[in-house]
Chain A
Amino acid sequence: MTKKKRGLASLAMGALATALILSGCGAASSGQTQGQVPGMKTIVVGLQAEPVTLDPHQVTDYNTSRTVDPMFERLVEFKDESTELEPGLAESWDISPDGLVYTFHLRQGVKFHDGTDFNAEAVKFSIDRQIDANHPYHDTGDFAYAEFTFGYVKEVRVVDPYTVEIELKEPYAPFLSNLAMHSASIVSPAAVQKYGRQFSQHPVGTGPFRFADWKSGVEVVLEKNPDWWKGQAKIDRLVFRPVIEDQARLTELESGSLDFIVNIPPDELARIGASSSYTVLRQPGMHVWYLIFNAQKPPFDKKEVRQAVNYAINKEAIVHDLLQDTGVVAKGPLPPVVWGSTDDVKPYPYDPQKAKELLAQAGYSDGFEVTFWVPESGSGMQQPKAMAAAIQSDLRKVGIQLNIQTFEWGTYLDKVLGNPADLPEVFEMSWMGDNGDPDNFLYILLSGDQWPPAGFNMGYYKNDQVDELLRQAQRLSDRGQREALYQQALKLLVEDAPWAWIDHETQIVAMKSSIKGFKLHPTGVFRFQNVDLQTP
């Protein structure tokens, strides 16, 4: 019997050994989960997914833009914490009185990471590569933002090695802001010529960090550019790692293998924020989440009905209870961080009684039933299904029955940008600003010139008075005059209620308290050039 026992015990030990072999020399390496290499200051950033490309001209999502941004610079840059502009690779610029020709005087002595010179030819190359179908390097990428950024460009001219002229087809005031976008990054022509399509895996720019390594699915490593014209960054390495699950990303921050994370689960925010080991930063983003009313179909062709829905939705409850204050209640289509925004607009407090009165005025005292499209997830969509359910229940109280149909995001985009005749009466959408100009919200999303496929006025809304104001604002280069026009347009739009705007999502990041000097930017990129690590 003792033998039998020993036999069984050794068998069990065998199984245990198998398990231990698998866990290998785990115990020995347990102390190595930190990403720090001795003598090197490293920040490891946990993103939601890995970047799809490292070519700034092909950026279309946050994970990609955040990884790419530290390597590149543009002629003009957004200032810290705002979308106001400051000189970048251009020291100064002049705009011709007719608003058609922009002349940029370039910074001298700037070098790309591959050692080649930054000059006017590089600027011309970076723009022409995207917009000129006959350019020899046009086929080195898919440039989703080319038309948006450079659609008004007629020609880019090299005047001398450090002067470049960009001529527009017609005056377009937001153009200068466009030049601060990723698509306007200046890339090394020599590198594009050398790598061709593979440039997306061998990016070369002039930025504070340069590319070191990309292990697919694992990490992208950047190292500081020792020759950066503004002086070296204080940290040596930046590592971007994809950690898909929000909870796992937070756990990795707390276990020490990540230093900086995005998308903290809302339930955990208070706990993390209360700890002295971590810093949580918040900033209202350039974002708006809204319901689009189909202006071409009853019942939302009537202004009273659209206003009624705005009164009937308890936006505060959605933002506070459902989103747990990861956003701020929207008062109109334009986020408050964008200039041109104003509080002097018609307010829509939660008022179901008022909503019922308006519905009765419009001839719908018995309410109505409509279809409501909702995506399952999607870039900028926050919690699309839970928010839809809250809106459905609010509107039921005033007699409006929403029949929710959900679609996977890829399908959803296809359908809402598809045949207008198939659109439902109401559907969800969100928008993240690109260049910090009010035109990027109001004109593109609500002008009558911007019905799909030309733009993104997906509810086919049209208001001639608003259209005229928005067009006028595009042609003026005086900022004060433009601002007045946008505020006027905004008042008309809020009164007319083409959407039910719900909230502006807040950007939230959490990082170890040892990271000093980090500031969030409204465009969502992370600027690490002035950040330092406090060593304990």
Chain B
Amino acid sequence: MASYILRRLLALIPVWLGATILVFLIMHLAPGDPALIMLGPKATAESLARLRHEMGLDQPLPVQYIRWLGKVLHGDLGRSIQLKRDVAELLRTRIVATGLLTLAAGLLATGAGVAMGIVAAVRQYSLWDRGTMVLALVGYAIPVFFLGLVLQIGFGYRWPILPVSGMNSPGQSGWGDLLWHLILPALTLATGAIALIARMTRSSMLEVIRQDYIRTARAKGLKERTVVYKHALRNALIPVITVVGLQVGYLLGGAVLVEMVFSWPGIGLLMVNAILARDFPVVQGAVLVVATAYVLTNLLVDVLYSLADPRIRY
């Protein structure tokens, strides 16, 4: 197991290289000059040239990339062109925000999705089953940004009970206030994943429940509760865990949109602004973080397999 985890961690290196080279190329091949965007059209040619030189933007692309990589290896993610701050410092505060949002959405999606799926499966073709599945279909189909705006109008304006933007009320920094602000963004982000996980759990449960050993378990006179949770659920969860793992990628991607709609000060928001401003160091740094998060969660999912199913060994 330990050597497996180590091997997977080593695999991060090509992922990092691949992701950053790809993003580096896309960013630099797209037209747009960060110096011009930052200083605006009123800057002089000299000040533009000076800024490009300071940022190393006047160097050939491979040189720029290798310089950046060299610095990263020394733990220096560089400075933001636009915000003039260290990228690491910018990312540090933002990681927490995005982490919270994704974690909350992930927990909500898994909890609600699995619960809805189980109930739907156990009561197949009931009103509850059909209702849940229709909801799931709608939830999966509705675009994240649209749902976000609808929830904002609903709970921020029509029934003004929830805050609709930011992470804290002005001048406040308590956890209670933060969680209060987290409800709508987390719900918005989780909706699509809840739907998918519910559908997956339902079909997986249905498959398992029809198997012989479940009939045996029931025939032994086990409580229905034990049958469902102990015998059926555990086996049914394996494909669900895969889906949950894949959803992390979806959540990280969706977080960009949710952060825009709710002005949630996370990495996604930082990245969108950085892309528009051609702020290369920030985009690169954010990509590193997101790629790492994605790989690590997938690793976690693989480790969870062996917990859910003792037959799986690495």
| CB of A415 closer than 8 Å to a CB of B | yes
B172 in the interface, Cβ–Cβ < 8 Å?
Answer: yes
Docked-complex contact B224 and A37, CB < 8 angstroms: no
Contact assessment for A217 and B165 in the assembled complex, using a CB-CB cutoff below 8 Å: no
Complex interface: chain A residues within 8 A of B42 (CB): 60, 144-145, 148, 434, 456
Q: Which residue of A lies closest to B163 (CB)?
A: A33
Q: Hey, what's the 0/1 contact readout for B163-185 against A, CB within 8 Å counting as 1?
A: 11111111110111101101100
- At the interface, yes or no: A414 with Cβ under 8 Å from chain B? yes
Number of A-B residue pairs at CB separation under 8 A: 231
What are the 4 A-B residue pairs with the smallest beta carbon separation, nearest first?
A: A217-B265, A24-B179, A35-B170, A15-B115
Could you tell me which residues of chain B, from 232 to 271, have a CB within 8 Å of some CB in chain A? 260-263, 265-266, 269-270
Chain B interface (Cβ within 8 Å of chain A)?
30-33, 36-47, 50-51, 82-85, 90, 93-94, 97, 104, 107-108, 111-112, 114-116, 118-119, 122-123, 149, 152-153, 156-157, 160-172, 174-177, 179-180, 182-183, 186, 223-225, 228-229, 260-263, 265-266, 269-270, 273, 276-278
Q: Is the interface of B mostly helix, strand, loop or mixed?
A: helix
Q: How far is the CB of B19 from chain A (nearest CB, A)?
A: 22
Q: Are B84 and A14 in contact (CB under 8 A)?
A: no
Interface residues as binary, A120-146 with B (CB distance below 8 Å gives 1, 0 otherwise) = 000000000000000000000111111
Q: Which residue of B33, B36, B165, B170 contacts A42 across the interface (Cβ within 8 Å)?
A: B170
Quick check: A142 and B38 within 8 Å, CB to CB? yes
Q: Which of A235-243, A329-337, A485-493, A518-526 contacts B (4 or more CB under 8 A)?
A: A235-243
Question: Which residues of chain B are within 8 angstroms of A61 by Cβ–Cβ distance?
Answer: 40
> What per-residue 1/0 map shows which CB atoms of A137-161 lie under 8 Å from chain B?
0000111111110000000000000
Contacts of A411 on B, CB cut-off 8 Å? 30-32
| B202 CB to nearest A CB, Å | 14
**A389 is an interface residue with CB less than 8 A from chain B:** no
Q: Which of B44, B104, B157, B263 has the most CB of A within 10 A?
A: B263
Q: Which of B40, B163, B179, B261 contacts A245 (CB 8 A)?
A: B261
| Size class of the contact patch on chain A | 35 or more
Residues of chain A from 214 to 254 with CB closer than 8 A to chain B in the complex: 215-219, 221, 237, 239, 241-245, 247-249, 251-252, 254
**Nearest-CB residue, chain B, relative to A415:** B31
A176 CB to closest chain B CB (Å) equals 19
A251 to B150, CA, bound (A): 11
- Residues in B with CB closer than 8 Å to A252 are 156, 163-165
Residues of A within 8 A of B (CB): 3-4, 7-8, 11-12, 14-15, 18-19, 22-26, 28-30, 32-35, 37, 42, 44, 49, 52-53, 58, 60-61, 141-148, 197, 200-201, 215-219, 221, 237, 239, 241-245, 247-249, 251-252, 254-257, 379, 407-411, 413-415, 417, 434, 453, 456
Q: How far is the CB of A66 from chain B (nearest CB, A)?
A: 16
With a 10 A CB-CB cut-off, give which of A58, A147, A197 has the most chain B CB atoms.
A147
**Contact (A216, B122) CB under 8 Å given A241-B166, A251-B164, A257-B170:** no
Which among B32, B38, B43, B263 is the interface contact of A243 at CB below 8 angstroms? B263
* Residue contact B152 to A248, C-beta cutoff 8 Å: yes
> Which chain A residues lie closer than 8 Å to B229 at the CB level?
7
